[in-house]
A and B are shown apart, each in its own frame.
Chain A
């Protein structure tokens, strides 16, 4: 069943994610069959209406818990009277950080494409990093570790990214924080924060932003799997599962379906959602070889 037609998004951006990574999602109680065919995400216009001039706001010293993170995301969606979407997670993170935020996504082997931004400044710099092939976001994506450029005026940072830093400083950006959106080898993209003031980050700040990146990961995976969990479910599920079995099962499913680990994780989550069981339970079945995912022979 072509799931894409059934899902009408509140705005066009969700369709991008689903068109970009074609999957036939679950339907009712039937078993999930996945054909993993992944195409690079097309370029999408900046959604500038989500938040107003975040770079001019004062930074908020907020200690975030996972529940707090999800509540802020759901609150943003509710205020717009739309379903929770990836852009809400990006916007909520931007608000919490008192900065501009942008999300670039990579689908399969294509180069990462800027997909969302809270303002034109962030979008422009995100695109600049992609064009120059240098910058914190590029390195965070490659190394799968957060990259913190707390003070772009620092000469060591200038030496590291000689083409990007002057352009960023000229536009009024003083610090860039790039957080990979990934779960091990299941890499989806990078979340970048652009601040207009330099200064030491606190550990609490970074912890909070990592939680937002987790939320983005979950929302992207669920969108790819054609899932639309309700707000209560999102908060209840919390964030990406951390148990070893989930990761082991992702590896096994990636071989069974002959797809990337990212797509395997999507299939696993979709399966769990369709059966109404926790992800860890489905993963345990996969690892114990009680359950295997088998690709269709013909499309």
Chain B
């Protein structure tokens, strides 16, 4: 047997108690496009970081053409690994040609000669058949599709033997994705090994020769793309349905005919943007006390639905909370009507990390209003710190938040405990509607179970819960009913336990 181009042997990485990557073996030959497929948290990004040399493994080895890698990113690059990161590392003020020379002093010498840089850029682009337009255009003004090609060319300029792409299509338009795939196929035919990391099924199937599926930090299977279907892959990716207990909770109490629905959403639509999926005529109706799960692979519109409902994203269509029609783009109106949000990105949208635990526990307009004498927030209103602390202490106790003290900055807490504060805060107003996006992402098993218990308890108390999650186990465990989100559209309903059909809908097949 010949030496593989890339050989990964027993590669493993832990972060604290979390296994990010269980011992993994891969042997890949040149002239192929190999997909690495998995959900968020499956271990994809850890694998990318290890191969790129950004972090060192706890155990195991990576070898290129039989030579074992040692050292950081520079060593990985000189050993022949070219990496295209998800977020492009291009300098907007520099031209395409200058960006291509960046970080390669050997390519430029001590002095920059613009004409030579331009000639080199053109030569590089034509050698690989990648169209970069004018090499003298500043990168800041170029469309992302072109930037992706510049980024790939930059990786190729070091003459790599393995080209590693981490979710390269996240910011690309469909036409740009097709162009990228055509380029990658050409590179494969020139004898390069392309490692394509993605969470998108159809991309993995459409582009790759073979696909390795990761789940929960472990390699589940490696299959030839021709020998499998999207349905099968979806099934492997999200896990075996037999391992999950079905919904073990009583059905929601149906509201009396006179009672309005907790949430009625009709024809909800948003525009596409950079890194934003357009929503297309979303319709959902929730009764009080009901948990409606929304399954879907990440990036199909989960964050957009949550932001649009919360009033943080411009939208079209009708949103009615308990009989009150919400004005679009009005966060205050949504909160007043009783809609609470558990955002998908806790650090960016949920917490002020420099503020204390108690201050973060109060960081919501309705809660702050309750802490004033008049029940309203005015410019002159005092902050009753005693009551605020008492409220936070209560929240910390009832949601079992482990914090050294209320006065510590929230950043000192673990992710799970931060999330409990976010959830406790959202539920403290007894909202009519709770919109939760991946509420257990990054949490350990015990914390996850606790969050699920909180959601179920909230529903039992009459809150309608819209649970947008990529974790099918989670959805099966707590949802009364389930719909599937695919490319900004809702499909379903589907039985929470029907994994095969969910997988098919998630892949856009049904």
A and B from one complex: no
Q: State the A residues within 8 Å of B (CB).
A: none
